Amino acid sequence: MDQIIIHVDMDAFFAAVEIRDNPSLRGKPLIIGSLPHERGVVATASYEARKYGIHSAMNIKDACRLCPNGVYMHPNMEKYRAVSASLHGIWNTYATAAETIALDEAYLDVTEQAVNLAGARRIAGEIRRRTRDELGLTCSVGVAYSKTAAKTASEEKKPDGYFEIPDAKTFVDLIIDRDVRVLYTVGEKTAQKLNAAGISTVRDIQEKQDQVRRLFGKQGQWITQLAFGIDDRRVTPYRPEDAKTIGREVTFQEDISDFNLLKDILFLLALSVENRAGRVGLFGQGVSLKITYADMKAISRSRRVEYCVSAVEIYEEAVRLLGQVARRPVRLIGVGIYDLYGEENRQLRIEDYMDDVRERREAERGRLLAGLGEKYRLDFAGHLREIFRAETLHKTVEYMRRHPPQGAGDGSRRSPGRDEEPGTFS
Mind listing the pLDDT tens digit for each residue in 82-132? Answer: 999 999 999 999 999 999 988 999 999 999 999 999 999 999 999 999 999
How many whole angstroms separate alpha carbon 197 and alpha carbon 115?
43
Query: Residue 129 half-sphere exposure, CB side, CA atoms within 13 Å?
Result: 6
Determine the pLDDT at residue 411: 47
SS3 readout for the chain:
CCCCEEEEEECCHHHHHHHHHCHHHCCCCEEEECCCCCCCEEEEECHHHHCCCCCCCCEHHHHHHHCCCCEEECCCHHHHHHHHHHHHHHHHCCCCEEEEEECCEEEEECHHHHCCHHHHHHHHHHHHHHHHHHHCCCEEEEEECCHHHHHHHHHHCCCCCEEEECCHHHHHHHHCCCEHHHCCCCCHHHHHHHHHCCCCEHHHHHHCHHHHHHHHCHHHHHHHHHHCCCCCCCCCCCCHHHCCEEEEEEEEEEEECCHHHHHHHHHHHHHHHHHHHHHHCEEEEEEEEEEEECCCCEEEEEEEEEEECCHHHHHHHHHHHHCCCCCCCEEEEEEEEECCEEHHHCCCCHHHHCHHHHHHHHHHHHHHHHHHHHHHCECCHHHHHHHCCHHHHHHHHHHHHHCCCCCCCCCCCEECCCCCCCCECC
Q: Is residue 371 located within the same domain as residue 285?
A: yes
Asked if residues 280 and 240 have their Cβ atoms less than 8 Å apart, the reply is yes
Q: Is residue 361 located within the same domain as residue 375?
A: yes
Examine the pLDDT at 423 and tell me if it is beyond 60. no
Query: Which of 125, 147, 171 corresponds to the end of one domain?
Result: 171
Band of residue 415 on the pLDDT scale cut at 50, 70, 90: low
Q: Is residue 142 located within the same domain as residue 96?
A: yes
Q: Which of 349, 147, 348, 100 is nearest to 242 (CA)?
A: 100
Q: Is residue 123 located within the same domain as residue 93?
A: yes
Examine the pLDDT at 343 and tell me if it is beyond 70. no
- Residue with the bigger pLDDT between 357 and 94: it is 94
CATH of the domain at 296: 3.30.1490.100
What is the average pLDDT value for the chain, to the nearest integer?
89
Determine the pLDDT at residue 305: 86
Determine the pLDDT at residue 21: 97
Band of residue 4 on the pLDDT scale cut at 50, 70, 90: very high
Share of the chain above pLDDT 90, in %: 71
How many whole angstroms separate alpha carbon 141 and alpha carbon 163?
7
Residue 61 zone, left/alpha/beta (φ > 0; ψ -120 to 50; rest): alpha
Band of residue 1 on the pLDDT scale cut at 50, 70, 90: confident
How many whole angstroms separate alpha carbon 404 and alpha carbon 256?
11
Q: Is residue 368 located within the same domain as residue 314?
A: yes
Q: Is residue 305 located within the same domain as residue 247?
A: yes
- The parent domain of residue 193 ranges over 185-227
Classify residue 73: in a domain, yes or no: yes
CATH of the domain at 54: 3.40.1170.60
Neighbours of 104 (CB within 10 A): 23
Examine the pLDDT at 209 and tell me if it is beyond 70. yes
Q: Is residue 256 located within the same domain as residue 217?
A: no
Determine the pLDDT at residue 346: 45
Examine the pLDDT at 37 and tell me if it is beyond 60. yes
How many whole angstroms separate alpha carbon 279 and alpha carbon 277?
5
Active site residue 241: no
Classify residue 34: in a domain, yes or no: yes
| Chain-centre distance for alpha carbon 76 | 14
Catalytic entry in 18, 48, 99, 105: 105
C-alpha distances in Å from residue 271, one per residue of 27, 55, 146, 385: 41, 32, 40, 10
Band of residue 405 on the pLDDT scale cut at 50, 70, 90: confident
Q: Is residue 328 located within the same domain as residue 248?
A: yes
- pLDDT, average across residues 276-288: 87
Band of residue 420 on the pLDDT scale cut at 50, 70, 90: very low
Query: Which of 77, 110, 130 corresponds to the end of one domain?
Result: 77
Q: Is residue 82 located within the same domain as residue 133?
A: yes
Number of domains in the chain: 4
- pLDDT, average across residues 337-366: 65
